[in-house]
Protein backbone atom coordinates (compact mmCIF):
# COMPACT_ATOMS: atom_id res chain seq x y z
CA UNK A 1 0.00 0.00 0.00
CA UNK A 2 1.19 3.54 -0.71
CA UNK A 3 2.73 5.46 2.16
CA UNK A 4 0.00 7.85 3.38
CA UNK A 5 2.57 10.47 4.43
CA UNK A 6 3.95 10.63 0.90
CA UNK A 7 0.43 11.06 -0.47
CA UNK A 8 -0.21 13.93 1.90
CA UNK A 9 2.78 15.71 0.47
CA UNK A 10 1.58 15.24 -3.09
CA UNK A 11 -2.21 15.09 -3.36
CA UNK A 12 -4.28 14.30 -5.27
CA UNK A 13 -3.34 10.67 -5.35
CA UNK A 14 -4.60 10.25 -8.95
CA UNK A 15 -4.47 12.61 -11.89
CA UNK A 16 -7.48 10.97 -13.53
CA UNK A 17 -10.92 10.71 -11.91
CA UNK A 18 -11.93 7.16 -10.95
CA UNK A 19 -15.72 6.82 -11.19
CA UNK A 20 -17.75 4.85 -8.68
CA UNK A 21 -18.86 2.55 -11.49
CA UNK A 22 -18.40 2.08 -15.23
CA UNK A 23 -20.05 -0.53 -17.48
CA UNK A 24 -17.78 -3.10 -19.11
CA UNK A 25 -18.90 -3.24 -22.74
CA UNK A 26 -16.80 -5.25 -25.21
CA UNK A 27 -16.60 -5.53 -28.98
CA UNK A 28 -18.96 -8.56 -28.84
CA UNK A 29 -21.77 -6.39 -27.44
CA UNK A 30 -21.07 -3.64 -29.99
CA UNK A 31 -21.07 -6.11 -32.89
CA UNK A 32 -24.31 -7.73 -31.68
CA UNK A 33 -26.04 -4.34 -31.40
CA UNK A 34 -24.90 -3.51 -34.95
CA UNK A 35 -26.27 -6.84 -36.16
CA UNK A 36 -29.58 -6.18 -34.42
CA UNK A 37 -29.77 -2.77 -36.11
CA UNK A 38 -28.91 -4.28 -39.51
CA UNK A 39 -31.46 -7.08 -39.06
CA UNK A 40 -34.30 -4.58 -39.24
CA UNK A 41 -35.76 -6.02 -36.01
CA UNK A 42 -35.07 -3.37 -33.41
CA UNK A 43 -37.89 -3.76 -30.91
CA UNK A 44 -38.89 -6.93 -29.01
CA UNK A 45 -37.97 -9.89 -31.18
CA UNK A 46 -35.70 -12.92 -31.47
CA UNK A 47 -32.82 -11.49 -29.44
CA UNK A 48 -35.13 -10.61 -26.56
CA UNK A 49 -36.61 -14.14 -26.63
CA UNK A 50 -33.12 -15.63 -26.62
CA UNK A 51 -32.03 -13.33 -23.78
CA UNK A 52 -35.08 -14.37 -21.72
CA UNK A 53 -34.34 -18.02 -22.39
CA UNK A 54 -30.68 -17.74 -21.40
CA UNK A 55 -31.42 -15.68 -18.30
CA UNK A 56 -34.00 -18.24 -17.14
CA UNK A 57 -31.41 -20.94 -17.73
CA UNK A 58 -28.66 -19.04 -15.85
CA UNK A 59 -30.91 -18.45 -12.85
CA UNK A 60 -32.62 -21.81 -13.03
CA UNK A 61 -36.02 -20.09 -13.12
CA UNK A 62 -39.04 -21.46 -14.95
CA UNK A 63 -40.03 -18.12 -16.51
CA UNK A 64 -38.09 -14.94 -17.33
CA UNK A 65 -39.81 -11.88 -18.79
CA UNK A 66 -37.60 -9.14 -20.21
CA UNK A 67 -38.68 -5.59 -19.41
CA UNK A 68 -37.32 -2.09 -19.90
CA UNK A 69 -36.30 -1.65 -16.24
CA UNK A 70 -36.35 -3.26 -12.82
CA UNK A 71 -38.87 -0.59 -11.85
CA UNK A 72 -41.21 -1.82 -14.60
CA UNK A 73 -40.59 -5.40 -13.49
CA UNK A 74 -41.55 -4.61 -9.89
CA UNK A 75 -44.62 -2.72 -11.10
CA UNK A 76 -46.00 -5.58 -13.22
CA UNK A 77 -45.16 -8.16 -10.54
CA UNK A 78 -47.17 -6.21 -7.94
CA UNK A 79 -49.99 -5.60 -10.43
CA UNK A 80 -50.02 -9.30 -11.35
CA UNK A 81 -50.52 -10.40 -7.74
CA UNK A 82 -53.39 -7.93 -7.50
CA UNK A 83 -51.94 -5.11 -5.37
CA UNK A 84 -54.37 -2.19 -5.46
CA UNK A 85 -56.05 0.59 -3.46
CA UNK A 86 -56.36 -0.18 0.24
CA UNK A 87 -53.47 -2.64 0.25
CA UNK A 88 -50.21 -2.21 2.13
CA UNK A 89 -46.85 -3.44 0.87
CA UNK A 90 -43.90 -3.74 3.25
CA UNK A 91 -40.38 -2.92 2.07
CA UNK A 92 -37.04 -1.55 3.22
CA UNK A 93 -36.53 2.20 3.64
CA UNK A 94 -32.88 1.72 2.55
CA UNK A 95 -33.62 1.33 -1.15
CA UNK A 96 -33.98 3.28 -4.36
CA UNK A 97 -37.24 5.23 -4.50
CA UNK A 98 -38.69 3.12 -7.30
CA UNK A 99 -39.23 0.13 -4.97
CA UNK A 100 -41.81 2.22 -3.12
CA UNK A 101 -42.97 4.40 -6.03
CA UNK A 102 -44.46 1.41 -7.86
CA UNK A 103 -46.56 0.59 -4.78
CA UNK A 104 -47.90 4.16 -4.89
CA UNK A 105 -48.59 3.84 -8.65
CA UNK A 106 -50.97 0.97 -7.89
CA UNK A 107 -52.87 3.03 -5.32
CA UNK A 108 -51.48 0.98 -2.42
CA UNK A 109 -49.53 2.21 0.62
CA UNK A 110 -45.81 1.55 1.06
CA UNK A 111 -45.00 0.58 4.64
CA UNK A 112 -41.36 0.51 5.66
CA UNK A 113 -39.66 -1.92 8.04
CA UNK A 114 -36.24 -1.11 9.51
CA UNK A 115 -33.02 -2.88 8.51
CA UNK A 116 -30.53 -5.23 10.16
CA UNK A 117 -26.81 -4.55 10.45
CA UNK A 118 -26.34 -6.23 7.04
CA UNK A 119 -28.32 -3.35 5.42
CA UNK A 120 -31.23 -5.71 4.62
CA UNK A 121 -34.80 -5.60 5.91
CA UNK A 122 -35.26 -7.17 9.35
CA UNK A 123 -37.88 -9.97 9.41
CA UNK A 124 -38.78 -9.07 13.01
CA UNK A 125 -39.54 -5.50 11.89
CA UNK A 126 -41.64 -6.82 8.99
CA UNK A 127 -43.69 -8.87 11.43
CA UNK A 128 -44.36 -5.78 13.56
CA UNK A 129 -45.73 -3.94 10.52
CA UNK A 130 -48.12 -6.61 9.24
CA UNK A 131 -51.80 -5.57 9.38
CA UNK A 132 -54.99 -7.04 7.87
CA UNK A 133 -54.33 -4.76 4.87
CA UNK A 134 -50.83 -6.10 4.13
CA UNK A 135 -50.73 -7.79 0.74
CA UNK A 136 -47.06 -8.28 -0.06
CA UNK A 137 -43.46 -7.92 1.06
CA UNK A 138 -40.68 -6.57 -1.17
CA UNK A 139 -37.32 -7.67 0.24
CA UNK A 140 -34.47 -5.64 -1.33
CA UNK A 141 -31.20 -7.56 -1.62
CA UNK A 142 -28.99 -4.59 -0.75
CA UNK A 143 -25.68 -4.46 -2.58
CA UNK A 144 -26.26 -7.98 -3.90
CA UNK A 145 -26.53 -9.71 -0.51
CA UNK A 146 -29.72 -11.77 -0.21
CA UNK A 147 -32.16 -10.99 2.61
CA UNK A 148 -33.18 -13.52 5.31
CA UNK A 149 -35.51 -15.21 2.85
CA UNK A 150 -36.53 -18.28 4.88
CA UNK A 151 -37.78 -16.05 7.70
CA UNK A 152 -39.51 -13.72 5.25
CA UNK A 153 -41.18 -16.62 3.41
CA UNK A 154 -42.32 -18.11 6.73
CA UNK A 155 -43.96 -14.78 7.65
CA UNK A 156 -45.57 -14.59 4.22
CA UNK A 157 -46.95 -18.12 4.55
CA UNK A 158 -48.26 -17.47 8.05
CA UNK A 159 -50.07 -14.29 7.00
CA UNK A 160 -51.08 -15.17 3.42
CA UNK A 161 -48.77 -12.58 1.81
CA UNK A 162 -46.92 -12.63 -1.52
CA UNK A 163 -43.18 -11.97 -1.80
CA UNK A 164 -41.85 -9.91 -4.71
CA UNK A 165 -38.06 -9.59 -4.52
CA UNK A 166 -36.18 -6.45 -5.55
CA UNK A 167 -33.02 -8.06 -6.90
CA UNK A 168 -31.84 -4.97 -8.80
CA UNK A 169 -28.38 -5.57 -7.26
CA UNK A 170 -28.43 -9.32 -6.96
CA UNK A 171 -28.26 -11.25 -10.23
CA UNK A 172 -25.99 -14.22 -9.58
CA UNK A 173 -26.35 -14.16 -5.77
CA UNK A 174 -27.30 -17.28 -3.82
CA UNK A 175 -29.15 -17.73 -0.53
CA UNK A 176 -28.64 -21.11 1.18
CA UNK A 177 -27.53 -22.52 -2.18
CA UNK A 178 -30.66 -21.21 -3.94
CA UNK A 179 -30.26 -18.74 -6.77
CA UNK A 180 -31.94 -15.39 -6.23
CA UNK A 181 -34.75 -15.40 -8.78
CA UNK A 182 -36.12 -18.81 -7.76
CA UNK A 183 -37.15 -18.04 -4.17
CA UNK A 184 -40.11 -15.63 -3.84
CA UNK A 185 -43.28 -15.39 -5.94
CA UNK A 186 -41.48 -13.15 -8.46
CA UNK A 187 -38.09 -11.44 -8.63
CA UNK A 188 -37.09 -8.28 -10.52
CA UNK A 189 -33.52 -7.63 -11.73
CA UNK A 190 -31.97 -4.41 -13.08
CA UNK A 191 -29.63 -4.00 -16.03
CA UNK A 192 -29.01 -0.28 -15.45
CA UNK A 193 -25.41 0.70 -16.40
CA UNK A 194 -24.02 0.59 -12.86
CA UNK A 195 -25.43 -2.88 -12.16
CA UNK A 196 -23.65 -6.26 -12.30
CA UNK A 197 -24.52 -6.51 -15.99
CA UNK A 198 -26.16 -3.96 -18.27
CA UNK A 199 -28.45 -3.55 -21.27
CA UNK A 200 -28.23 0.28 -21.10
CA UNK A 201 -31.62 0.37 -19.44
CA UNK A 202 -33.43 -2.88 -18.82
CA UNK A 203 -34.65 -5.51 -16.43
CA UNK A 204 -35.97 -9.04 -16.08
CA UNK A 205 -38.66 -10.61 -13.91
CA UNK A 206 -38.52 -14.29 -13.03
CA UNK A 207 -41.09 -16.59 -11.49
CA UNK A 208 -41.87 -20.27 -11.04
CA UNK A 209 -45.62 -19.59 -11.27
CA UNK A 210 -47.14 -20.17 -14.76
CA UNK A 211 -50.19 -18.01 -14.13
CA UNK A 212 -48.19 -15.12 -12.70
CA UNK A 213 -45.76 -15.35 -15.64
CA UNK A 214 -48.60 -15.14 -18.15
CA UNK A 215 -50.13 -12.15 -16.35
CA UNK A 216 -46.80 -10.31 -16.11
CA UNK A 217 -46.10 -10.96 -19.80
CA UNK A 218 -49.45 -9.46 -20.77
CA UNK A 219 -49.02 -6.51 -18.40
CA UNK A 220 -45.56 -5.78 -19.84
CA UNK A 221 -47.09 -5.02 -23.26
CA UNK A 222 -50.41 -3.17 -23.02
CA UNK A 223 -52.28 -6.17 -21.61
CA UNK A 224 -52.58 -7.49 -25.15
CA UNK A 225 -53.38 -11.15 -25.64
CA UNK A 226 -52.71 -12.58 -29.07
CA UNK A 227 -54.37 -15.86 -28.13
CA UNK A 228 -57.65 -14.49 -26.83
CA UNK A 229 -59.24 -14.31 -30.29
CA UNK A 230 -59.28 -18.09 -30.42
CA UNK A 231 -61.87 -18.10 -27.69
CA UNK A 232 -64.33 -15.66 -29.16
CA UNK A 233 -63.94 -15.16 -32.90
CA UNK A 234 -62.70 -16.71 -36.08
CA UNK A 235 -60.77 -13.57 -37.05
CA UNK A 236 -57.28 -13.80 -38.54
CA UNK A 237 -53.77 -13.36 -37.11
CA UNK A 238 -54.10 -9.56 -37.09
CA UNK A 239 -56.65 -9.79 -34.28
CA UNK A 240 -55.75 -9.22 -30.62
CA UNK A 241 -57.59 -8.41 -27.46
CA UNK A 242 -56.74 -6.25 -24.47
CA UNK A 243 -57.22 -8.29 -21.32
CA UNK A 244 -55.77 -5.76 -18.84
CA UNK A 245 -54.96 -2.04 -18.99
CA UNK A 246 -51.29 -3.00 -19.30
CA UNK A 247 -48.06 -1.05 -19.54
CA UNK A 248 -45.39 -0.44 -22.20
CA UNK A 249 -42.45 -2.08 -20.48
CA UNK A 250 -41.09 -4.39 -23.19
CA UNK A 251 -37.36 -4.76 -23.80
CA UNK A 252 -35.98 -4.05 -27.28
CA UNK A 253 -33.70 -6.33 -29.31
CA UNK A 254 -31.05 -3.59 -29.20
CA UNK A 255 -30.99 -3.91 -25.41
CA UNK A 256 -31.12 -7.72 -25.55
CA UNK A 257 -28.14 -7.71 -27.95
CA UNK A 258 -26.09 -6.15 -25.13
CA UNK A 259 -27.63 -8.45 -22.55
CA UNK A 260 -26.76 -11.70 -24.36
CA UNK A 261 -23.05 -10.96 -24.14
CA UNK A 262 -23.19 -9.36 -20.70
CA UNK A 263 -24.91 -12.47 -19.36
CA UNK A 264 -22.20 -14.68 -20.85
CA UNK A 265 -19.62 -12.59 -18.95
CA UNK A 266 -21.58 -12.30 -15.73
CA UNK A 267 -19.77 -14.98 -13.75
CA UNK A 268 -16.41 -13.46 -14.67
CA UNK A 269 -17.70 -10.01 -13.64
CA UNK A 270 -18.92 -11.42 -10.32
CA UNK A 271 -15.58 -13.16 -9.67
CA UNK A 272 -13.74 -9.91 -10.34
CA UNK A 273 -16.05 -8.02 -7.99
CA UNK A 274 -15.55 -10.63 -5.27
CA UNK A 275 -11.77 -10.54 -5.59
CA UNK A 276 -11.74 -6.73 -5.35
CA UNK A 277 -13.96 -6.92 -2.28
CA UNK A 278 -11.49 -9.38 -0.73
CA UNK A 279 -8.71 -6.82 -1.22
CA UNK A 280 -10.83 -4.02 0.31
CA UNK A 281 -11.67 -6.28 3.24
CA UNK A 282 -8.02 -7.05 3.89
CA UNK A 283 -6.99 -3.41 3.59
CA UNK A 284 -9.66 -2.05 5.96
CA UNK A 285 -9.56 -4.84 8.55
CA UNK A 286 -7.32 -2.93 10.91
CA UNK A 287 -8.84 0.53 10.48
CA UNK A 288 -11.27 1.04 13.38
CA UNK A 289 -12.78 4.15 11.76
CA UNK A 290 -14.13 1.98 8.93
CA UNK A 291 -16.93 -0.52 9.48
CA UNK A 292 -16.92 -3.19 6.78
CA UNK A 293 -20.10 -4.79 5.39
CA UNK A 294 -21.58 -7.61 7.46
CA UNK A 295 -22.12 -10.77 5.41
CA UNK A 296 -24.09 -13.83 6.51
CA UNK A 297 -22.37 -17.19 6.23
CA UNK A 298 -25.32 -18.75 4.38
CA UNK A 299 -25.24 -16.35 1.43
CA UNK A 300 -23.01 -15.75 -1.56
CA UNK A 301 -23.49 -12.06 -2.43
CA UNK A 302 -23.33 -10.73 -5.98
CA UNK A 303 -21.23 -7.79 -4.65
CA UNK A 304 -22.91 -5.04 -6.62
CA UNK A 305 -21.78 -2.58 -3.95
CA UNK A 306 -18.95 -2.38 -1.46
CA UNK A 307 -20.64 -0.14 1.09
CA UNK A 308 -18.59 0.75 4.17
CA UNK A 309 -19.72 2.81 7.15
CA UNK A 310 -17.70 5.54 8.80
CA UNK A 311 -17.36 5.34 12.57
CA UNK A 312 -18.22 9.04 12.88
CA UNK A 313 -17.50 9.10 16.60
CA UNK A 314 -13.84 8.42 15.77
CA UNK A 315 -13.59 11.07 13.01
CA UNK A 316 -13.57 14.87 12.90
CA UNK A 317 -15.41 14.98 9.55
CA UNK A 318 -18.87 13.79 8.55
CA UNK A 319 -19.86 11.58 5.66
CA UNK A 320 -20.48 14.43 3.19
CA UNK A 321 -17.01 15.80 3.97
CA UNK A 322 -15.53 12.34 3.53
CA UNK A 323 -17.13 12.11 0.06
CA UNK A 324 -15.65 15.52 -0.79
CA UNK A 325 -12.23 14.46 0.50
CA UNK A 326 -12.39 11.38 -1.75
CA UNK A 327 -13.37 13.55 -4.70
CA UNK A 328 -10.40 15.84 -3.99
CA UNK A 329 -8.28 12.71 -4.41
CA UNK A 330 -10.03 12.03 -7.74
CA UNK A 331 -11.94 9.09 -6.32
CA UNK A 332 -15.68 8.80 -7.03
CA UNK A 333 -18.14 7.27 -4.58
CA UNK A 334 -21.88 7.00 -4.16
CA UNK A 335 -24.48 6.92 -1.39
CA UNK A 336 -26.96 4.04 -1.25
CA UNK A 337 -29.47 5.29 -0.34
CA UNK A 338 -31.18 8.41 0.91
CA UNK A 339 -33.86 6.57 2.95
CA UNK A 340 -37.12 6.62 1.03
CA UNK A 341 -39.23 7.69 4.02
CA UNK A 342 -37.18 10.91 4.31
CA UNK A 343 -37.97 12.14 0.78
CA UNK A 344 -40.48 15.02 0.73
CA UNK A 345 -43.13 13.05 -1.15
CA UNK A 346 -43.18 10.28 1.44
CA UNK A 347 -43.05 12.71 4.38
CA UNK A 348 -45.88 14.84 3.00
CA UNK A 349 -48.11 12.05 1.76
CA UNK A 350 -47.67 9.47 4.54
CA UNK A 351 -46.36 11.53 7.46
CA UNK A 352 -43.01 9.77 7.72
CA UNK A 353 -40.39 11.75 9.64
CA UNK A 354 -36.80 11.54 10.86
CA UNK A 355 -36.56 9.08 13.75
CA UNK A 356 -39.09 6.62 12.29
CA UNK A 357 -36.43 4.12 11.21
CA UNK A 358 -33.43 4.63 13.52
CA UNK A 359 -31.20 1.86 12.16
CA UNK A 360 -31.70 2.97 8.57
CA UNK A 361 -31.05 6.62 9.46
CA UNK A 362 -27.96 5.74 11.53
CA UNK A 363 -26.64 3.74 8.55
CA UNK A 364 -27.50 6.46 6.05
CA UNK A 365 -25.42 9.03 7.95
CA UNK A 366 -22.37 6.78 7.75
CA UNK A 367 -22.58 4.77 4.54
CA UNK A 368 -20.40 5.21 1.44
CA UNK A 369 -20.17 2.94 -1.61
CA UNK A 370 -16.59 2.77 -2.86
CA UNK A 371 -15.67 2.22 -6.55
CA UNK A 372 -16.32 -1.37 -7.62
CA UNK A 373 -16.60 -2.47 -11.25
CA UNK A 374 -15.01 -5.21 -13.35
CA UNK A 375 -12.83 -2.83 -15.38
CA UNK A 376 -11.04 -1.48 -12.29
CA UNK A 377 -7.30 -2.06 -12.44
CA UNK A 378 -5.26 -3.27 -9.47
CA UNK A 379 -3.74 0.22 -9.20
CA UNK A 380 -7.22 1.82 -9.15
CA UNK A 381 -8.11 -0.35 -6.19
CA UNK A 382 -4.87 0.53 -4.39
CA UNK A 383 -5.54 4.22 -5.04
CA UNK A 384 -8.97 3.97 -3.38
CA UNK A 385 -7.47 2.14 -0.40
CA UNK A 386 -4.65 4.68 -0.09
CA UNK A 387 -7.06 7.62 -0.32
CA UNK A 388 -9.48 6.18 2.27
CA UNK A 389 -6.60 5.34 4.60
CA UNK A 390 -5.08 8.78 4.24
CA UNK A 391 -8.36 10.62 4.82
CA UNK A 392 -9.01 8.54 7.93
CA UNK A 393 -5.52 9.23 9.29
CA UNK A 394 -5.81 12.94 8.58
CA UNK A 395 -9.19 13.26 10.30
CA UNK A 396 -8.81 10.85 13.19
CA UNK A 397 -10.15 12.14 16.50
Nearer to ligand PLP, 161 or 340 (CB): 340
Nearer to ligand PLP, 92 or 329 (CB): 92
Nearer to ligand PLP, 47 or 169 (CB): 169
Stretch that binds ligand PLP, among 66-74, 242-250, 276-284, 324-332 (CB under 6 A): 66-74
Among 20, 119, 175, 192, indicate the residue that binds ligand PLP (CB under 6 A): 192
Residues with active-site annotation: 195
Q: Are 141 and 299 in contact (CB under 8 A)?
A: no
Among 48, 69, 120, 262, indicate the residue that binds ligand PLP (CB under 6 A): 69
Stretch that binds ligand PLP, among 163-171, 247-255, 260-268, 372-380 (CB under 6 A): 163-171
Q: Are 8 and 373 in contact (CB under 8 A)?
A: no
Query: SS in 3 state form for 192-253?
Result: CCCCCCCCCCCEEEEECCHHHHHHHHHHCECCEECCCHHHHCCCCCCCCEECCCCCECECCH
Among 190, 255, 329, 360, indicate the residue that binds ligand PLP (CB under 6 A): 190
Q: How far is the CB of 117 from ligand PLP (least distance, A)?
A: 18
Is residue 139 a contact residue for ligand PLP (CB under 6 A)?
Answer: no
Stretch that binds ligand PLP, among 27-35, 45-53, 65-73, 374-382 (CB under 6 A): 65-73
Is residue 71 a contact residue for ligand PLP (CB under 6 A)?
Answer: yes
* 88-127 binders of ligand PLP (CB under 6 A): 95-96, 98-99
Q: Are 97 and 343 in contact (CB under 8 A)?
A: yes
Nearer to ligand PLP, 13 or 167 (CB): 167
Among 203, 259, 293, 374, indicate the residue that binds ligand PLP (CB under 6 A): 203
Query: SS in 3 state form for 257-324?
Result: HHHHHHHHHHHHHHHHHHHHHHHHHHHHCCCCCEECCCCCCCEECCCCCEEEEECHHHECCCHHHHHH
Is residue 166 a contact residue for ligand PLP (CB under 6 A)?
Answer: yes
Instruction: Give the residues across from 206 on adjacent strands.
Output: 64, 187
Going 115 to 121 to 122 to 125, the CA torsion angle's sign is positive
Name the maximum alpha-carbon separation found in the chain.
82
> Helix 319-328 and helix 378-394: axis angle, to 10°?
130
Query: Of 190, 265, 382, which Cα lies nearest the Cα of 390?
Result: 382
Among 168, 173, 331, 367, indicate the residue that binds ligand PLP (CB under 6 A): 168
CA atoms within 13 A on the CB side of 238: 0
Report the interface residues with ligand PLP, using CB under 6 A.
69-71, 95-96, 98-99, 140, 166, 168-169, 190, 192, 203
Amino acid sequence: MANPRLIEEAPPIRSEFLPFSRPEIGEEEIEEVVQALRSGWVTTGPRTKEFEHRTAEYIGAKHAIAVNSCTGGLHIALAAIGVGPGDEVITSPLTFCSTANVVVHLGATPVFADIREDYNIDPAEIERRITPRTKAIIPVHFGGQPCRMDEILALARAHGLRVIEDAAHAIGATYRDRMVGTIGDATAFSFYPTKNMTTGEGGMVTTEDDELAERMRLLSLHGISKDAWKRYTSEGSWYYEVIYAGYKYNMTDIQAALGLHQLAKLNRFLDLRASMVARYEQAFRDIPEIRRPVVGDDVCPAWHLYAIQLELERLTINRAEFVEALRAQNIGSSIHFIPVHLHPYYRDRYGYKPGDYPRTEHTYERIISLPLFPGMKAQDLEDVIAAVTWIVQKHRR
